[in-house]
Structure 1
Amino acid sequence: MLALRNGLNRALALRTLPPQIRSSFATGPRQSDGTLYEFRTYFLKPSKMNEFLENFKKNVHLRTAHSELVGYWSIEFGGRMNRVFHIWKYDNFAHRTAVHEALAKDKEWEQFLIPNLALIDKQESEITYLVPWCKIGKPPKEVHVLWWNESADSRAAGRHLSHEDPRVVAAVRESVNYLETQQNMLLIPTSFSPLK
């Protein structure tokens, strides 16, 4: 299970951009060069969540033939329900463009995609980079942090212990000056997600 946190810019963008699709691009020297990760969220019709996931599970090979899937999760709690969250890896923006052009020409992908579009209410897309010390870019204004936990209960227990650790308390007190907002989501990996 993973918890996801992010900053104020995401919340502001959700309020100011059209509701159908949103795409955020980080700025800075890594924007036009280097590995990037696309965070995609699909908001599904409530009665269609299982149907969408089953359809994608059967056809995930069509999409992964074009670029690397890092992880695919359903969202257990943290905002609106009936969402799936997935991360795709690209070498650079040119690679991402080439992948989307190839998908547009892929007849098998089109046969999967067209009927499944009716199951999606809206989608969001963000481009992110890894911080230098992370194994898996560094955006200037917002940060996403993925934490792996064995279960929701182990996450709760770990958070409780960390709040009793003076080092953690001191770090939070120092960093809270830079925090304008925070959102947490509990992500449950799908059976076909490489990252569990």
Structure 2
Amino acid sequence: MAKVELTPLRPWDDFFPSSERFAKPDVKDLTKWNNRVVNNLLYYQTNYLALAVVVFLIVGFLNPLGMFTAMAVVTGVFLGSVWAGENRAVINNFKRQNPTAFLIAVMFASYLLISMLGSVMVFMTAITLPLALIFAHSSFRLRNMKNKLENKIEGAGLKRSPMGILLEALGQQEENFQKIQSFLEGKLKD
């Protein structure tokens, strides 16, 4: 098994190039849109991490106690959902069949707990804003050849990254692994 390594920070002109490298996603083809998002999440993961850290630090500086509360609640709910997905067949099946709905349920549960603790605005700015920015970029950014090549390497298991592990925990990588495995098995038979 390949060791886990963080992808390099992509240059600004690759991460945010001119407008011809951005296009509206095809909302009628959710599979294609999901594929674009997942592949961009894998390719630009270090840039997204840097973006999230900057927003996180700014909000954390403005409200440290609320930030700690929000961070603890989201981490707890996420870890609880991953544990439940691994140990409960009903939840695992729901997660595989409806990954977006599962993620929304985790975010909603986090929101409810944080609202009870009085840190809703911190949650909205420190957690939701970076997620919204990352989702928007990964939805609109068209992939390039280097992006596609890096994702094939990750999908084949030759390289592992933190985002790949996270997406695997959310059930987003299994289809790619199955496609690659089927392709390789077909080539071996020929």
Instruction: Please give the TM-score of this superposition, normalised by the length of structure 1.
Output: 0.32
Q: Structure 1 or 2: larger helix share?
A: 2
Higher strand proportion: 1
TM-score (structure 2 length as normaliser): 0.33
